[in-house]
Amino acid sequence: MERIKIEATDVSPEVILDLENNQFSIRGKSVVTEVDTFYAPLIDWLENVQEKMDKRVDFVFDLEYFNIFSSKRILFILYKLSDLKKNGADINVVWHFSMEDDDMKEVGEDFACMVNLPFEFVSSTLYHEVS
């Protein structure tokens, strides 16, 4: 299965879906206006990997911000991961959030309640450069 690697932009996150190297992540900011165009290939890719997920997968979400349209697609991805887990894949979600951003942690907790997946919450501190 071919991997997906999308570089981050000002409006879209970096995405890595790589079975061969067991790397799965969505990082950055997601305020894309054409969410279906951006997220549909990711969801389709996940639909086609069931038999190939033969080792533990840590799917990393490290998002600094996303809009409501993106949040629905992120939830679709989590539902797809939940389906994969129900069918035997060993999937763990790693949800990153900044200690200064309670909202992002709460969104992750809400998502965790909606899907049947183990979630690991990882906090980090935002570092601000002082000029």
Tell whether 84 is covered by a domain: yes
CATH of the domain at 8: 3.30.750
Tell whether 46 is covered by a domain: yes
105 vs 125: CA distance, rounded Å: 13
Backbone φ and ψ for 34, nearest 5 degrees, come out as -100, 70
Tell whether 130 is covered by a domain: no
Tell whether 88 is covered by a domain: yes
Tell whether 21 is covered by a domain: yes
pLDDT of residue 131: 41
pLDDT of residue 99: 85
Query: 72-97: b or e for each residue (b if 16 or more CB lie within 10 Å)?
Result: ebbebbbbbbbbbbeeebebebbbbb
DSSP string, 89-108: --EEEEEEEETT-HHHHHHH
Question: Which pLDDT band, with edges at 50, 70 and 90, does 121 fall under?
Answer: very high
Overall number of domains in the chain? 1
- DSSP letter, residue 22: T
Helices 68-86 and 35-47 meet at what angle, rounded to 10? 0
> Domain residues for 61?
4-98+108-124
How far is C-alpha 108 from the chain's CA centre? 10
**pLDDT tens-digit map of 7-61:** 999 999 999 999 999 999 999 999 999 999 999 999 999 999 977 888 899 999 9
23-30 and 119-124 beta bridge pairing: unpaired
| Sequence-ordered alpha helix ranges (H) in the chain | 35-47, 68-86, 102-114
Tell whether 114 is covered by a domain: yes
114 vs 97: CA distance, rounded Å: 18
Tell whether 103 is covered by a domain: no
Position 130 pLDDT exceeds 60: no
